């Protein structure tokens, strides 16, 4: 221990020919503060208590000397915080009958300013460890929402469906039947996107009311009013989303220019996507590689995902690269959580049955929460790595949706 002092008692009762020299010299059982001893003399002998008192006083002196700098720094920071808080009320006069109203108005206005800054990401309390506020909402729209769309999407061979239809003109009815079924599947991802944004806004509201901690009732009432308003907007937003989807379902304009010459549409879209996606860094973060104990066991690495590859390093300094995995022909599949495991896992595999990492056909990556897993899957989606569910049998799908 840091403050442990060993005490050896009854040294005067030791037999002849024995000694406690090694113990007293701190050799047998080394202690940070050493050892002292006592005798079984009467109360008239006081030299042993004086020795112990000296050891204790020395320990107390060392402890005060070690903790005093930290205590001084803590007191100074508290003093600055109090001075800053007092500065906010310097313009309030004790005899002013409107001082309470002014203080209330100022705190409510400050709450609004803090909330706006957290949404814009321009506040003075930006979290550098994880995304929050506007940055998190931005990721929900640009990563999580597309990922939810892909999870609910059904792969369909449009050309196979159209080839099964006969007639001189384009089978508009078959086309509408296919498109409407796909549009209906947009409802669940859209509503989930709204729920994620509302959840993040509620978290921001709770954080912004921390400055009202000196007034618990004001904090509780402010949080209740703003949260209630957000919930009301939540309901109306979902109504508008459902209305927009219903509008899209009501009429399919098959004569739109986007549908003209669509035989080359998929090829053109792929070319455009490849040109628009440079080899930029999409995400960085810690992940755990799950490998059997015989092959080294699980270990944490710092991962860097780009548009072309997945690399992992020893740490976040990114100096010692362990491996780089190209993203060509890769897919993602879910992995069931182990019985004794506390982490959530997903796997990356090659669709051509090739080894992904060393002699492994798939590499399992683990996160601390399911939310982190979904977030990483959304980042992989941006890089063009789709979930395994996206590969659906074309034949079964065309049989299901064929209008004949």
Domain harbouring 158, CATH code: 1.20.120.1240
Q: Find residue 289's DSSP bridge partners.
A: 299, 365
CB 3 within 8 A of CB 33: yes
Tally of domains in the chain: 3
Rounded Cα distance between 325 and 357, Å, is: 8
Which of 65, 67, 60, 59 lies closest to 33 in space, CA to CA?
59
Q: Would you state the pLDDT for residue 221?
A: 92
Task: Answer yes or no: is 352 within a domain.
Answer: yes
**How would you label 68-103 residue by residue, b for 16+ Cβ within 10 Å and e otherwise?**
eeeeeeeeeeeeeeeeeeeeeeeeeeeeeeeeeeee
Same domain, 176 and 237: yes
CA dist 269 to 97, 263, 402, Å? 68, 11, 25
Whether 334 maps to a domain, the answer reads yes
Query: At which of 272, 298, 333 does a domain end?
Result: 272
My answer on whether 293 and 316 are in the same domain is yes
Per-residue buried b or exposed e for 256-291, using 16+ beta carbons within 10 Å of the residue's own CB? eeeeeeeeeeeeeeeeeeeeeeeeeebbeeebbbbb
The three-state secondary structure class of 21 is: helix
Q: Are 180 and 262 members of one domain?
A: yes
Q: List the strands of the sheet with 362-367, edge to edge.
A: 321-326, 309-313, 299-306, 281-290, 362-367, 344-350, 330-334, 386-387
The CATH number assigned to the domain holding 365 equals 2.30.29.30
Q: Which residues contact 278 (CB under 8 A, 6 or more apart)?
A: 307
Angstrom distance (rounded) from CA 293 to CA 279 = 35
Length of the chain: 404
Q: Could you report the per-residue pLDDT of 163-220, keeping only the tens digit for each?
A: 555 454 556 677 777 788 888 888 998 999 999 999 999 999 998 888 888 888 999 9
Q: Work out the burial of residue 204: count CB atoms within 10 Å of its CB; fewer than 13 is exposed, 13-18 middle, 19 or more buried.
A: buried
Q: Is residue 345 included in any domain, yes or no?
A: yes
Are residues 251 and 366 part of one domain? no
Q: Are strands 330-334 and 321-326 parallel, antiparallel or unpaired?
A: unpaired
125 in any annotated domain: no
| Residue indicated by tokens 């010692």 | 320
Per-residue buried b or exposed e for 363-395, using 16+ beta carbons within 10 Å of the residue's own CB: bbbbbeeeebbbbbbbbbbbbebbbebeeeeee
Could you say which residues of the chain have pLDDT below 70? Answer: 1-3, 33, 37-55, 88-89, 91-92, 122-132, 152-172, 256-279, 293-296, 338-340, 389-404
pLDDT score at 398: 38
**What CA–CA distance (Å, rounded) separates 254 from 86?**
68
Alpha helices in 185-262 (DSSP H): 187-208, 216-250
14 in Cβ contact with 40 (< 8 Å): no
pLDDT of residue 344: 86
Domain that holds residue 322: 277-390
Q: 266 and 253 share a domain?
A: yes
Residue 118 lies in a domain: no
In this prediction, residue 307 carries a pLDDT of: 85
My answer on whether 265 and 290 are in the same domain is no
Whether 75 maps to a domain, the answer reads: no
What Å distances lie between residue 93 and 90, 103, 248, CA to CA? 8, 11, 61
Going through 242-334 in order, the beta strands assigned E by DSSP cover 281-290, 299-306, 309-313, 321-326, 330-334
366 & 250 share domain? no
Which DSSP symbol is given to 142? I
């Amino acid at each position: 221990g840091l403050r442990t002092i060993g005490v050896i008692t009854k040294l005067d009762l030791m037999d002849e020919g024995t000694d406690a020299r090694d113990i007293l010299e701190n050799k047998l059982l080394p202690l940070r503060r050493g050892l002292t001893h006592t005798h079984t003399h009467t109360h008239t002998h006081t030299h042993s208590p004086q020795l112990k008192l000296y050891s204790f006083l020395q320990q107390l002196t060392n402890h005060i000397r070690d903790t005093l700098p930290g205590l001084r720094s803590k007191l100074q920071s508290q003093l600055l915080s109090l001075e800053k808080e007092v500065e906010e009320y310097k313009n309030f006069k004790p005899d002013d009958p409107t001082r309470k109203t002014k203080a209330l108005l100022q705190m409510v206005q400050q709450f609004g300013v803090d909330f706006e800054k957290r949404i814009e990401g321009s506040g003075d309390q930006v979290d550098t460890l994880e995304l929050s506020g506007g940055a998190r909402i931005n990721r929900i729209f640009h990563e999580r929402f597309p990922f939810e769309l892909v999870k609910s999407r059904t792969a369909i061979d449009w050309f196979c469906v159209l080839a099964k239809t006969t007639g001189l003109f384009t089978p508009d009815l078959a086309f509408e039947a296919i498109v409407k079924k796909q549009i209906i599947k947009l409802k669940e991802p859209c509503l989930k996107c709204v729920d994620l944004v509302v959840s993040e806004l509620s978290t921001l509201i709770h954080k912004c009311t921390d400055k009202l901690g000196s007034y618990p009732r004001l904090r509780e009432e402010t949080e209740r009013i703003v949260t209630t308003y957000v919930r009301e907007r939540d309901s109306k937003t979902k109504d508008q989303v459902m209305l927009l989807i219903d509008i899209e379902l009501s009429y399919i304009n098959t004569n739109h220019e986007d549908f003209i010459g669509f035989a080359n549409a998929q090829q053109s879209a792929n070319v455009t996507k490849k040109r628009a996606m440079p080899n930029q860094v999409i995400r960085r973060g810690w992940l755990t590689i799950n490998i059997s104990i015989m092959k080294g066991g699980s270990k944490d690495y710092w991962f860097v995902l780009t548009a072309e590859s997945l690399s992992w390093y020893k740490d976040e300094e990114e100096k010692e690269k362990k491996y780089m995995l190209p993203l060509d022909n890769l897919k993602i599949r879910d992995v069931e959580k182990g019985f004794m495991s506390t982490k959530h896992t997903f796997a990356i595999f090659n669709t051509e049955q090739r080894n992904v990492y060393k002699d492994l056909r798939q590499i399992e990556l683990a996160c601390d929460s399911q939310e982190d897993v979904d977030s990483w899957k959304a980042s992989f989606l941006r890089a063009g790595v789709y979930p395994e569910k996206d590969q659906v049998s074309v034949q079964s799908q065309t049989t299901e949706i064929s209008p004949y």
